[in-house]
Structures are given as C-alpha cells and as structure tokens.
Amino acid sequence: MSAPGTRLSGTGMTSERTRARMLARLRAAGISDARVLAAMGAVPRHIFVEEALAHRAYEDTALPIGHGQTISQPYAVARAIEELARGRCLGRTLEVGTGCGYQAAVLAQLATEVYSVERVRELHERARTNLRPLRIANLRLVWGDGYAGLAEAAPFDSIVVAAAADAPPPALIEQLAERGRLVLPLGGPHGQRLERFDRVRGRVVRVALDPVRFVPLRKGRSR
C-alpha cells in the first residue's frame, strides 16, 4: 500500500526525475514537438498500471493491463500525437481504444475536447477509475465499438486509433472534419505501419509513417 497521496505524485522509480528520463529518451528517439513532450511530462504514467508494475511505468515498453491488452509504449503514444499535432492544433479529438486511459490523458492536455471509446467494458471502467484523481475536465469516456467511430460527437479534427486494423474503418474517415486528420496503425501480425489520413477539400490524402506494433482492432463491444 502507498501512503496517502504518494500514488499520484510518485516516489522513487515513479518520481519526477524518472519522468524526466522518459522525456530525454523520447527526445533521443526523435520526438521534438515541445507541446507533445510537455503533455507526456504532465501525465503520471505509473497510475495507469498495476502497482506491482509501477516501477517500470517510465520504461519505453508496453505493459500488460489485463484482457490481453497493453498500455502503449510511450514512444508510440508520443509519435502518434506528434503526427496529429504537426503544423496544427488537435481540436476536437476521438481516441479509439482507451485501454487504461493513458493516451487519453495525454491527448486531453493538447485537445479542446477528447472522446475516448473502449470496447471492453471492464477496461473502460478501469480507465475511469485511473483517470479520476487527475480531474481532467475535457475528456469523455465511452464504452462502445470504436470501429464505428462516435457518430453523436462527430465530426472530429483529430482521430487516433490505438489498435491495428487492415484498412482504415470507413466510419472514421467519414467522421473526419474538413482538414481533419486520422492517425492509425495499419497491418497484421507480420508488420504494421503507422499511417496518416488527411481530409483536404473532401478528398483524403494518405501518408505512410514508421513501422509500429499494436494489438489488433476488433469489431463489436465486449463485456
């Protein structure tokens, strides 16, 4: 058990200094947008993993969060958000695949509003619990199938998907605002690549980015 209050601020391996080392590693790996680095530095990653793994929260690795899912590697989170923020602000943002809620918290530092959809109910609820102490006012969590996007809150200026699909889900392209941008991993178990889709005057322009590794995007909601 932690002493009251120490879980959020962190101690030892979860401290401010450990977080600064994570930022230094992200910089060394090529993340250069100061807004993204500041947002990554502002969110305590250790509160999103089980206490037994908290000492590893600032390593650049994915960690298990239950249901066969993982908290994304810090580099993968920073890389996707940097691409969404390149030359622009995030605006109204949709995240597909809340998982533990970490990336949603980082997005909320930069976006006007964030909607984050998770298909596994228990993960959705756990994310809510994880996020509560951070008191983030511009973040809404939704239990649902993100493959269908979130029609009731569309259109979005930014959409980011935290799980890999074979092709971009059509609903996500449809729910992009004019000048909107979608960043998602595409591909299967033998290789995935982060890709970006920009909606420009009704057309969609595709840009291939770096190789990445994410859990698969699945259709439908699950308990």
Positions touching ligand SAH (CB under 6 A) are 69-72, 96-100, 102-103, 117-120, 123, 145-147, 162-163, 215, 217-219
The nearer residue to ligand SAH, 56 or 218, going by C-beta atoms, is 218
Q: Looking at the DSSP assignment, which residues form a beta bridge with residue 176?
A: 156
Q: Is 72 a catalytic residue?
A: yes
CB-based burial label for 136 (10 Å; 0-12, 13-18, 19+): middle
The nearer residue to ligand SAH, 17 or 219, going by C-beta atoms, is 219
The nearer residue to ligand SAH, 12 or 64, going by C-beta atoms, is 64
CB of 71 to ligand SAH, least distance (A): 4
The nearer residue to ligand SAH, 104 or 202, going by C-beta atoms, is 104
Whole-angstrom distance, CA of residue 223 vs CA of residue 8: 29
Answer yes or no: are the C-beta atoms of 40 and 106 closer than 8 Å. Answer: yes
CB of 202 to ligand SAH, least distance (A): 26
Answer yes or no: are the C-beta atoms of 46 and 100 closer than 8 Å. Answer: no
Q: Strands 63-66 and 191-200: what pairing?
A: unpaired
Whole-angstrom distance, CA of residue 54 vs CA of residue 45: 8
Q: Given 2, 9, 15, 72, which residue is catalytic?
A: 72
CB of 88 to ligand SAH, least distance (A): 21
CB of 94 to ligand SAH, least distance (A): 11
Active-site positions read: 72
